[in-house]
Structure 1
Amino acid sequence: MTTTSGTVEYVATPEQMIDAHLTWMRAGGYAEKSVRASRRVLRKAHTELPEGLHAAIGTELAAWLDNPEWVRATKCAYHKHLVRFYRWATNPKDPWMTFDPSADLRAPKVNPGVPRPAGDELVRAAIYDTADPWRINCRLAALGGLRACEIAALRREDVTAEVMHLWGKGDKARAVPTHPLIWELIAPLPPGHIVRRPSGRPPTGDWVSTQTAHYLAAAGIPTKLYPLRHYFASTINQRYGDIRVVQELLGHASVMTTQRYTAVTASRLREAVTVLPFSGSDADDTPSAGPAPSDAAAQPPHRSEASAPPAARRGRRPRRPGRGRP
């Protein structure tokens, strides 16, 4: 592959292409987690493809994605990184490649996620029977709907007794009301990150999620931050009944994503079925069909011979216009 700089043409290596693509992602506002994931996937693909990332063809990409050891979610994520890279590389305004091998690459189908909120007893144990900082993490997820990456980025100066100012995926900002049990733990904290690593390094979403899960498992509480966030969404949707409100609280761009977080309980399903008629044995449950028609009303009306046309009285069909003699 070649690219030009003024009148000088030079050949770019795949490593240079990947680095330039990552720079483009950072300039476009992609989260650093997404940039790191893209770097890992692109380097993996370049190493494992027969001719490398820069000389691959569509069938090679399809064969690489058809790895039986990968789940469909992994294949879908890898497909997304590849398509974004090749579309960037074949941009006619600044081309690094002359063709896009991913143009006809079909995205793997991924089944929609099933809501899996934590139960009330697990939530109660997670927000009351745990030690800090894990208790703060659990309350932020269950009572604020925060993602692990948002918990990691949250600072004391971002939280007041009324509202939490959050930075979500793609550095999208949103405000979520502060639950009293959250404020109870955050109010006395000093400025800086709410969650602090023992090493002093800034916390990451992966670290917050993994360490909280390990602590909860050791404490005998079989749940994680993600089911606690699902609990937040499902409970508000069931009690408040407005999925658009839930969408704003969770920071979703599409309400379709929010629907995967909101579970419908079996009791709500039973209540919905009971509104149908014929739900009981009483006669009152049967919808009334109205009074039975009388014999006179049931008989179709007969036209008298006086009202019938002359041809019908003589047993002949009426003459059609234009069919008789002139």
Structure 2
Amino acid sequence: MSSLERAVGAYLDHLEAEVGASAHTVAGYRRDLARYAAFLTDAGVSSVGDVRPDQVQGFAAWLRAGGEGRPALAASSVARAVAAVRSFHAFAVRDGEADANPAARVSPPKQGKRLPKALSVDQVQALLNVPDRTTPVGLRDAVLLELLYGTGARVSEVCALDVDDVSSQLDDPDLGLRLFGKGRKERIVPLGSYARAAIGDWLVRGRPTFIARAARPGPALLLNARGGRLSRQSAFNVLAECAERAQLGVPVSPHTLRHSFATHLLDGGADVRVVQELLGHASVTTTQIYTLVTVEHLREVFLTAHPRAR
């Protein structure tokens, strides 16, 4: 193993053990840095301290261009990889493996501004009406949907919830729901009456059926068919099936509901900084892309409704 590969391994261990990054984040960084290490090895670089800025820039171009048996990556994917490389080199400097960060001034490719795809309020209501709340599975699915849309939480945050995280909120509506986002950053979000009702029904009439199937019962709020914690991928599948049954005609992911949560709040007059806190964004700049959605909506209404618009 080269010193470069050892440095990458040490950085990934640092992310997992000291930073507390999620398994999903660590997996993404591992994939990006494996590509980076392979690129540098082919260029004859074996030590992290020998990397030059032009090689980092070359890596970004290499990802963007693609090649034989290697698809070209979108600008957003290249930007993510460059961010991983920059963070890796910064760690190597702190760890004494290198004197400088060669990626510090390397800019990722410019990305076109993509507006999030939000569902309409009627589409969300159609989706929320899909689960059969007379069955244990339907009660579970209803909780998943109500939490994703009602709190704007990431799917990983919802799947990580335990029963103890929500039990006290059922008795006291003023208590918020504690979520742990990226980097284990904690935030408190309100839990609305619809979500509380769905959780209460699930805990009384649904979860006991699932927990009876578990070889070793655990504390997870949302359970799979075997009584274990519902995984992120299973949550994606549940939502996709519900969207198909609702006949929405558009692809729907957990992030679609997060986008819809933010857009509907802003449409209703919420301040962008309040939405920032609810979403757990580190910067209000990230949240402001949702304001573009509402501006576009206003423009569409104007063009459709005003007699002098066209």
* Range into which the TM-score falls when normalised by the shorter chain: 0.7 to 0.9
Residue aligned with 2:290, SS: coil
Instruction: Report deviation, 1:213.
Output: 4.4
Q: Which has the larger radius of gyration?
A: 1
Corresponding position: 1:14 with 2:4: yes
Aligned to 1:102: 103
Q: 1:269 to 1:164 in 2, by over 3 A?
A: same
How far residue 76 of structure 1 moved from its aligned partner, in angstroms, is 0.5
Describe the shift of the 1:179–1:31 C-alpha distance in structure 2 as closer, same or farther (beyond 3 A): same
Residue 99 of structure 1, CA deviation: 4.5
Match of 2:184 in 1: 171
Match of residue 264 from structure 2? 235
**SS of aligned partner of 1:227:** helix
2:84 pairs, out of 81, 86, 110, with 81
Q: Deviations over 1:212-268 (max 9, x none)?
A: 343235423432222221221121222233222212211112211112234216664
Give the residue type in structure 2 aligned to 1:210.
F
Paired position in structure 2 for 1:259: 288
The DSSP-based 3-state class of the residue aligned with 2:179 is strand
- Structure with a larger share of its residues in helix: 2
Task: Determine which structure has greater relative contact order: mean sequence separation of CA pairs < 8 Å that are 6+ residues apart, divided by chain length.
Answer: 2
Most deviating of 216-225 and 243-252: 216-225
Paired position in structure 2 for 1:59 = 54
* Runs of 4+ with >6 A deviation: 270-273
Which ranges in structure 2 are unaligned for 5 or more consecutive residues? 66-71, 132-137, 208-217
How do 1:191-210 and structure 2 match up within 5 A?
A: 192-198=219-225, 202-205=229-232, 207-208=233-234, 210=236
Secondary structure of the structure 2 residue equivalent to 1:174: strand
Structure 1 regions of 5+ residues with no counterpart?
1-10, 274-278, 281-326
Q: Normalized against structure 2, the TM-score is what?
A: 0.73
Which residue of the partner structure matches residue 212 of structure 2?
A: none
* CA deviations over 1:28-49 (Å, ceiling 9, x no partner): 3433332232222212221233
Shift of 1:86: 1.0
| Bigger mean CA deviation after superposition, 49-58 or 69-78 | 49-58
Q: Given the alignment of the two structures, is residue 35 of structure 1 paired with residue 26 of structure 2, yes or no? A: yes
118-127 or 183-192: bigger deviation: 183-192
Separation in 2, partners of 1:179, 1:241 = 16
Note if contact 1:72-1:108 (Cα within 8 Å) is conserved in structure 2: yes
Q: Distance in 1 between matches of 2:105 and 2:226?
A: 47
Distance in 2 separating the partners of 1:178 and 1:259: 23
Q: How many residues align?
A: 262
Considering only aligned residues, what root-mean-square deviation do their CA atoms show, in Å? 2.9
1:75 shift after superposition = 0.3
| Maintained 8 Å contact 1:116/1:261 | no
Match of 1:250 among 279, 286, 299: 279
